Amino acid sequence: MKRTNCRTTSKATQQRAKKLAAGVVLMMGLALHASAKDGAPIPTSPPGTVVDRPLVATSLVQKSGRARHWLQVGVASWYGTRFQGRATAGGERFDMYGMTCAHRTLPLGTWLRVTNLKNHRTAFVRVNDRGPVLEGRIVDLSFAAAQALGLSGIGKVRLEAVEQSDPELLSAVMAQLQEPVSLISLAQ
For 148-183, give the DSSP string. Answer: HHT-SS-EEEEEEEE-TT-HHHHHHHHHHHTS---H
Give domain status of residue 44, yes or no: no
Using pLDDT thresholds of 50, 70 and 90, give the confidence band for residue 45.
very low
Same domain assignment for residues 26 and 99: no
Same domain assignment for residues 30 and 67: no
Same domain assignment for residues 92 and 164: yes
Which comes out higher in pLDDT, residue 59 or 128?
A: 128
Residue 155, CA distances (Å) to 99, 102, 125, 160 in order: 17, 15, 16, 16
End-to-end distance of the chain based on CA atoms, in angstroms?
A: 72
Which comes out higher in pLDDT, residue 176 or 112?
A: 112
Using pLDDT thresholds of 50, 70 and 90, give the confidence band for residue 12.
low
How many domains does the structure of the chain reveal? 2
Q: What is the pLDDT of residue 44?
A: 43
Q: What is the mean pLDDT of the chain?
A: 74
Q: What is the pLDDT of residue 47?
A: 43
Kindly report the pTM of this predicted structure: 0.58
Same domain assignment for residues 99 and 22: no
Same domain assignment for residues 144 and 71: yes
How many whole angstroms separate alpha carbon 126 and alpha carbon 128?
Answer: 6
The domain that contains 83 carries what CATH number?
Answer: 2.40.40.10
Q: Which domain holds residue 161?
A: 57-187
Using pLDDT thresholds of 50, 70 and 90, give the confidence band for residue 138.
very high
